[in-house]
Amino acid sequence: MDVDALAALAAVRSQGGVTRAAAVLHVSPSAVSQRLAALTRAAGTPLTEREGRRLRLTPAGEALADAAVEVAAVLERARGAARGSLERPTGLVRVSAFASGAELLFPGLLTRVAGLPGVRVECSDEDVALDAFAPLTDRLDVVVAHRPETEPAWSAHPAQVTTTPLLREPLDVAVAVDHPLAGRSGLDPDDLVEQEWVAVREGFPVAPVLDAVAGRHGPARIVQRVNDFHVVLALVAAGHGLALLPRFTCGHHPGVRLVPLTGVRAGRLVEALVRPDKAERPLVRLVLAELTALARELTPGAS
């Protein structure tokens, strides 16, 4: 079976279609379709099927896509062996993160990497919905993602990513400094009944946590939906609602106090996602090790 055809099948699964797969593979959609057709002939069984306008993998296609991920990782391992273990890795690693994660991690990561001769990191911010983080690994080397503690691990995602834990960031209740709740040492969900909230958009990682906090008393009263935490802080400071915000990145606004939640565990897990074949590259592993060490320095003893 052709390696490029296997890669096309895996990309169609992780990206959700031929057009997006073509974009990450840097080929035309017709080339992807041709590779899928050739792979189907070689397999002797249908690998994809139409579901309305959507193309999805058959059970045989899913099994072969799993194998394609393994093949890519083995080939990358073989390339590394051919280059030799004594070669010092140099080159470019592309790293993305959601906005507040980028604010927390990128300055320190670039400082650390500056001390590694021949290693460059290109940073980008990717503020995407929860289910869109793993597919980013098709076009980026390291994807810093976040998810609520209650969400399944990324290993369950069709993109078949490897996961490196970086940190747990508590989510606190942000209130204006002159709000009646600002003087409290902790807030139970019962204390938050009938409060108005500034929340992120549906589908983004912090949204399910707010649903869980408000759940015992019905849906939260959401009056604004804004994803930019700097804007959220400004709205909270001006008295336009409460918000759930991450402690390490949002705890320094002069007009806002972050009050810990009690009686419920509210936090987000920040993790680095890497496609299995890219995880075999010494350069990627080097940058990932620096990112992991940085996260430990930033959050000593955090819980």
Average pLDDT of the residues in 248-270: 91
- Mean pLDDT across the chain, nearest whole number? 88
Q: Tokens for 253?
A: 């606004």
Worst-scoring range by mean pLDDT, 36-40, 50-54, 88-92?
50-54
For 198, the 3-state DSSP assignment is strand
In CATH terms, is domain 3-83 a member of 1.10.10.10?
Answer: yes
Q: Tokens for 142?
A: 């390291």
More confident residue, 2 or 113: 113
Query: What percentage of the chain has pLDDT greater than the value 70?
Result: 94
pLDDT for the residue 301: 60
The full set of domain ranges for the chain reads 3-83, 92-159+271-298, 169-267
More confident residue, 274 or 53: 274
Q: Cβ of 97: how many Cβ atoms within 10 Å?
A: 27
pLDDT at residue 165 above 70? yes
Of the pLDDT bands very low, low, confident and very high (cuts 50, 70, 90), residue 74 is confident
Which residues are 245's β-sheet partners?
172
| CATH superfamily, region 169-267 | Periplasmic binding protein-like II (3.40.190.10)
Contact status, residue 71 vs residue 64, Cβ threshold 8 Å: no
Element (H, E) at 248: helix 247-250
pLDDT at residue 156 above 70? no
Average pLDDT of the residues in 161-185: 94
Query: Left (φ > 0), alpha (ψ -120 to 50) or beta: where does 282 sit?
Result: alpha
Residue 188 identity: D
Average pLDDT of the residues in 197-215: 85
Q: pTM score, two decimals?
A: 0.81
- Topology of the domain comprising 92-159+271-298: D-Maltodextrin-Binding Protein; domain 2 (3.40.190)
The distance in angstroms from the start CA to the end CA of the chain is: 48
Short-list 236, 190, 243, CA closest to 215: 190
Does the fold of domain 169-267 match that of domain 3-83? no
